Each structure stands twice: as C-alpha cells, then as structure tokens.
Structure 1
Amino acid sequence: MSSKALEQFLRDNIADLKNRGLYNEIDTVEGANGPEIQIGGRKLINLSSNNYLGLATNDTLKVVSKEAIDTHGVGAGAVRTINGTLDLHQKLEEKIAAFKGTEAAISYQSGFNCNMAAISAVMNKDDAILSDALNHASIIDGCRLSRAKIIRYKHSDMNDLRKQAKEAVESGKYNKIMVITDGVFSMDGDIAKLPEIVEIAEELDLITYVDDAHGSGVLGNGAGTVKHFGLQDKVDLQMGTLSKAIGVVGGYVAGKQNLIDWLKVASRPFLFSTAVTPADAAASTKAIELLMESNELVEKLWENGAYLKAELKKLGFDIGNSETPITPVIIGEEKVTQEFSKRLFESGVYAKSIVFPTVPRGTGRVRNMPTAAHTKEMLDEAIEVYKRIGKEMGMIE
C-alpha cells in the first residue's frame, strides 16, 4: 500500500502543472531521431533534436559501433578506476584533447554528469562560484553540490560580473573563486562573451569554466566556443557533451594534464559509475575524427540555420537574438505556447514548446533546431506550416 501523503502530493502537483500549462507530455519516437521522425504512426519534420550535424544516424558511425561491440562487448564491465577503462576510452580522450586543443581530457557518462563531477571536485564550501543567470540546470546543480557560495551575475553582463567578482575577491572570504558560463545558451542561442570573461578572470585570478555543450560541433570549425575565440590556453575547464553535435552519448572535461589527473581521483561520477559502452566510445571518437577532417557538416548546419531564421523573421515571428543555428520563436504565455506547438504537430512539424522552469515564466517559446541533415524542401514545408498556424492564431499578419 502506497503512502497517502505521497499520493496527495503527486496528484495535487501534477494537476497544478497542467492547470498552468507547465506539464510536459513526453512523445515516443518510433525509429531513428533524424531530420524527419515518426510519432504515433505519423511522419513529422523534426525541429526539436539536438542532433545538430545529423551524426546520430550516420552510417559510418553505425559501422564503427557494431565493430566495437564485436571486439569489446556491449558494456565496459566496471567503473573506470577498477578495470572499466578500455583502450577505446583512452583513444576517445586523446581525440577529445586534440580536438579541443588541450593537454588532456576525461570522459563521463553524460554532459549532466560532467558538471556534477567536475565542479564539486574542484570547488568546496570555502570557495565561491560566479554563475551566469541563464546557466544550464546541470551547472546550477553542480554548483549546489560543491557547497561553494553561489553568486549569480546578470546574463552576459560583464559590468555586473566584474563588480561581483571584485567584491568576492576583496571580501577575503574565499580560498578560490570560479566563473562559470555556458558557451552557447541553449534556449536563446546567444554566445557567451568569453574574451571579456577571460580578461576579468586574469585580472582577478578566477578559475574559468565553460560548458560548451551547444558550442561543440557548431562554433570554432566544430571545435567549440573556446576555440572560436582562440582561448583554449586561457580557459581552465572546457566541458562538453558527446550527445548533441557529436551524435552519440556521454560528456567530457578538457584542460591541463594535472586537472584531468585530479578529476580521475576526485570526481564521484567517474569513480562510482560504470564507463560508457564500447560502442559509444568508438562512435564518439569517429565522429570527432570526421569533424577534424572536414568542415562540410558544420557549414551545412549554419546555412540551414541562417535560412530558417531569415524566413521566420520575414513572416513576423519574434526569434530573439540568437547568434547560432538555435532558432527560438518566442511567444510568451505558457498555454498559448503549448497550443501553438500542438497545432504545428497536427500539421506535420515537430517543434516542442519550452516553458517554465526550463525558461523564465512568461518567455515560453518553440525552440527550433535546424540540422545539417535537413533539406531545403523540409525547411520550406515547415515555414509554410508556421505561416498558416501563425496567421490562424493571430501571431502574425
């Protein structure tokens, strides 16, 4: 018999979320997550995937994954520190370091795990962390886990960052102070002001940490936001994911050799969770090799992103100030946002509504993610649907 208190809590809170238009319905994709997907037996143009370069369905990566299963099995068999470190993991980490322009790298089971692992392994209760107001949930949770004092600075506001950093340094309360930011902010598509952040960090001796989950494979010829600004020698911790542009699953932190050595003995997800599978490690390595060899996919991603942005803006939609292919259509009210997304779905376009708590209240949006795998015909079809639904709902003229 289940707890009555738990039943009441769940019933009340789920009903409350539904009433406020904040309850997220999860859709099941039948088959691969490509530029088109199938849900409930219907084919839809997919504008909600983070599979930026289309690598999740890449034939070469499929072959490499199958080969790794044949030679190394379906699982790593242990945590990394016992005997779960396979030669495939070592190759992956060497490839990541070469890709990111650092001395070394460490791989984890997910991008979320990276932030939980690395922040708490470096920072503690005697330290402070300056965190951008729009940082990803995994950064926020990683900061909380560290027990360091969290000081939020206004989003990409360098005057506020400098002021708060200076106050923290001059207080003399903290042993170490870190500044942490997303490289690309996933809901708005804007890019962190890394040159200014690094300048402030050097002036005040701050540790620099960049979460480049949405920058890797997109900026810097694919190598990410830090490489885009040529700051790979200036940023202490570069975190990234293998599950977005790389198309597989997992995450990593890249930096100096002594940092990576420390994370291998002090970061708990590395110590206490089984390593990523051989297939994932091999496929991720191959995906990075493809990006290092050719710029073609990255260029196609940007071409598709620019086209979709221009057409939606021309129709009169508010697409915010994105500087990357991420294309939000900002609507505002949560229930209207969800209704718009539902109408798009009914017309063959899968563009998921994003509402609080993922974004601030009153800033609901449909987040569009054109990829390198979309054809112009697919994008044109989606734009026509946007035009019709937008006019029917009175969002555009």
Structure 2
Amino acid sequence: MADRGFDLEDRLETLEDDDLKRSLSPVDRVAERGYFADPSGGDLPVLDSAEALVFASNNYLGLTDDQRVQDAARGAAATVGTGAGASRLVTGDTLVHRDLERLLTEVKGTDRALTFSSGYAANLGTITALEPDVVFSDELNHASIIDGCRLADTDTVVYDHCDAASLRSKLEERARTAAQDGRDPDAESWLIVTDSVFSMDGTVAPLAAICDAAEEFGAWVMVDEAHATGLYANGGGVVQAEGLEDRVQVQMGTLSKALASQGGYVAGSAALIDCLINDARSFVFSTGLTPPAAAAASEALHVARHSDVRDQLWENVAHLRDGLESMGFEVWGDSQILPVVVGDRTDAIALADGIREREVVVPAIRPPTVPEGTSRLRVVPMATHDQDDIITCLEAFQAAGEEVGVL
C-alpha cells in the first residue's frame, strides 16, 4: 500500500541544506537582558551561564517586567480569573475586557474598540468579516493581512511599498478595467490595507497620502498599528501622531508588543465593532482574551500615556542609530526598528553570531523573509536599556563587524 503520509524528515533536511531551519532558544525572562538556552528539542533547556543584552524584542517600552503591569495582571487573575473560560459571546466577556476597550477607544479616537486573542486573529477576522471585493495591499504587509485576504477570497491588488503614487495608479487601473469590462466600479467595495510601521524595514507608511487617494476613489482605509501602538502621541500610533482618526475607518493593533501583554484589537465606528462581534469568526469562535492579559495591557497603556517611557525609547533609538551610522553601517527605516543592512546572507549570519559571542542578542533576517541581497540585522532598543547598554551594543557591532569584514 502506498504511503499517503508526509515526508517530514525530507522537508527538514531541505530546510537544513538551505540554512533556513529555525529552532527555539528559551530565555529565563522577557526583559532587556536574560539568560538563554541552546535549542533543546523536547528536552528541558539548560540556561547559559552568561547574561545577554536583548536588542531583538518587540517589548519596545520594556514593560513586561514593570511592577505596575505585573500587579495589574495578578489582580485580575485573583479577582476575575486566569482565563476567560469561553467565547465572549457566551460567558467570556468581563469588566476587565470592557475597561481595556474603553481605554483603547479613548486613545484611538473612535466610537468603540474590540479585543481579539491575537493580532493575527484580529487581522484575519476583520478582513474576512468585511468581505471586500478588492483589497489594495502594500507589498510588505504582514503575513496576517496576506492570509486574511486569501481567506476572504478577495481580489488582492498589491502596490509598491510605502508608495502612494503606486497605490493611486492601482486604484485608477482597477476603476478603468472595471469600466472596460462593463462592470460598475462604484458597486465594488474597496479596502486599502497597510501596516503603519513595517517590522522588517522600520519604514513608516505615508498615511495622509494614502487617505487622500482613498477619499478620491471612495475606498476605506485599514491601518495595522501593531508596531506603533503605545509609542506615539498620547500612547497611540501613527494615526494619532498624524491626526488621521477621522480618515481611517479601521484601526488595528496588538497588545503583545509595546503594551507588554497578548492579543490584538480593532478600533472604529460602533457599526464596525458590532459587525465584527457578529461576523468575525476568529472572534466568535475563540475563547476571549485572558483577564490578566487584558488588565496588563490596560496598565501598560496607562504607563505609556502618563510616564516618560516613550521619551526614553526614542532617545535610545537616536543614540543607537547615530552610533551605527557613524561606524559606517547602513541603517534603514524611520522608526524604533533599526535594520542594519549587510546584503549577503552569510555575512549577516556571521555578524549576528559575532555579536552574540559578545553577549548581545540581535537576529539576522535573511531570505525568504526579506528579498535576496538585503539580509540584515534587526536592531531594536527598549526604553529600559540604559546608556551603558547602548554602548555595549555598539561596541559589539564594531568588534564583530571588523572581525567579519563588513566594516
């Protein structure tokens, strides 16, 4: 009888041969420094004896080990419970969820907000619930947006990265093609979707120009603020920094990065949120966000709005960028994410390894995650790194860069 199963060993061997196989390296805590363990498969990990500085996390404000945030999570676990216990449409809708959504609504300048179990679920659920006829998507949008378009079975038109002129030409082309085919382009529902801050390039979308193009053609705009929420004006994202709340119909984001928790959210009109509660399958058929996660995100959002953590982050970003560029490294982006472009994948891996040998953790990002010839190290400081930490990171880059021959 034929074996109709799957040759997993062959798949893994191919990944190994292509230098693409990934593994898990546990760490003792999520913070600006920690003790790491080598990949251990299913065995218990053995932590390294040396503590490493972490410049690889999305914990931008360093709030995962903030006492206020941890106390909020403990308090919710003690008073509400450790888990939601069911879909929020059944018994999993708690006052802790409602409090977080109230704060998100206030920060995002919308009628209402709705939390999901993950940012991935928020994007999938929103795009599939809206059922757009056409999605115009930035070419570097997150995988959850791409998968949401696939699951919605919508026509997806990809425009050049952060290029409002390319978007406008795609909108014009779609309208023209529809008219030539005898279809009424005004009868189609159009959704423009973009990240605000792009996680691998550090670039920031030209949201005002995107809104201009959308309004000219009657399209809706959906902005994924996963890597921006909590970091900009009043703890909001790029939408808030640019005052575009009234021009962006769907604001999405995560609680798992700057807000030091887990989950995702969507903010918008009351009608949008009611539709998502009823039609977003990733909301309807998922157990609600855990109360401790909701409470932790609420407190982290409060800290982001009412303390100096955002200023500390941006000071560290400026110091690190200046130092890397003064050494001769090419640093892309306009945000807290600093991609140090090396080009060759072998050099990028060697540079990351050399930096790791100096007890600094910075990942090498290589194809297929990024295009050929643009392999890079994704460097991200936290608000909780002090100046000595920044200097240590820069010294590691200098020494490893000279050793590898990229400086």
Q: TM-score if structure 2 supplies the norm length? A: 0.92
Q: Does 1:395 find its partner at 2:406?
A: yes
Residue equivalent to 1:272:
285
CA drift of 1:77 comes to 0.9
Q: 1:164 aligns with which of 164, 167, 170?
A: 170
Partner-residue secondary structure (3-state), 1:81: coil
Alignment of 1:240-251 (within 5 A): 240-251=253-264
CA drift of 1:24 comes to 2.1
Residue equivalent to 1:195:
208
Residue equivalent to 1:133:
139
Alignment of 1:201-216 (within 5 A): 201-216=214-229
Q: 1:370 aligns with which of 352, 367, 381?
A: 381
Q: Does 1:228 find its partner at 2:231?
A: no
Residue equivalent to 2:329:
317
Q: Does 1:90 find its partner at 2:102?
A: no
Q: 2:390 aligns with which of 373, 376, 379?
A: 379
Residue equivalent to 2:338:
327
What is the one-letter code of the residue matched to 1:237?
A: V
> Aligned residues, how many?
388
Q: Does 1:144 find its partner at 2:141?
A: no
CA drift of 1:221 comes to 4.0
CA drift of 1:333 comes to 2.2
Q: TM-score if structure 1 supplies the norm length? A: 0.95
Partner-residue secondary structure (3-state), 2:89: helix
Instruction: Kindly indicate whether the alpha-carbon contact (under 8 Å) linking 2:62 and 2:382 is maintained by their aligned counterparts in 1.
Output: yes
Partner-residue secondary structure (3-state), 1:112: helix
Instruction: Kindly indicate whether the alpha-carbon contact (under 8 Å) linking 2:119 and 2:264 is maintained by their aligned counterparts in 1.
Output: yes
Q: Does 1:218 find its partner at 2:231?
A: yes
Residue equivalent to 2:181:
none
CA drift of 1:22 comes to 2.1
Aligned partners of 1:108 and 1:100: how far apart in 2? 16
CA drift of 1:261 comes to 0.7
Aligned partners of 2:367 and 2:148: how far apart in 1? 20
What is the one-letter code of the residue matched to 2:107?
A: F
Residue equivalent to 1:45:
53
Aligned partners of 1:85 and 1:221: how far apart in 2? 27
Q: 2:18 aligns with which of 11, 16, 20?
A: 20
Instruction: Kindly indicate whether the alpha-carbon contact (under 8 Å) linking 1:21 and 1:334 is maintained by their aligned counterparts in 2.
Output: no
Q: Does 1:303 find its partner at 2:315?
A: yes
CA drift of 1:342 comes to 1.7
Deviations 1:291-339 (A, max 9, x none): 2323x1111100000100100111111112x111211111122233222
Residue equivalent to 1:36:
33
| Structure 1: gaps (5+ residues) | none
Aligned partners of 2:400 and 2:234: how far apart in 1? 36
Deviations 1:170-197 (A, max 9, x none): 4135620111100011111111000000
Partner-residue secondary structure (3-state), 1:45: strand
CA drift of 1:207 comes to 0.9
Aligned partners of 1:372 and 1:235: how far apart in 2? 29
* CA RMSD across the alignment: 1.5
Task: Using the aligned pairs only, state the percent identity.
Answer: 37
Partner-residue secondary structure (3-state), 2:287: coil
CA drift of 1:3 comes to 5.5
| Structure 2: gaps (5+ residues) | 38-47, 179-183
- When residues 333 and 21 of structure 1 are mapped into structure 2, their CA distance, relative to the original with a 3 A threshold, is farther
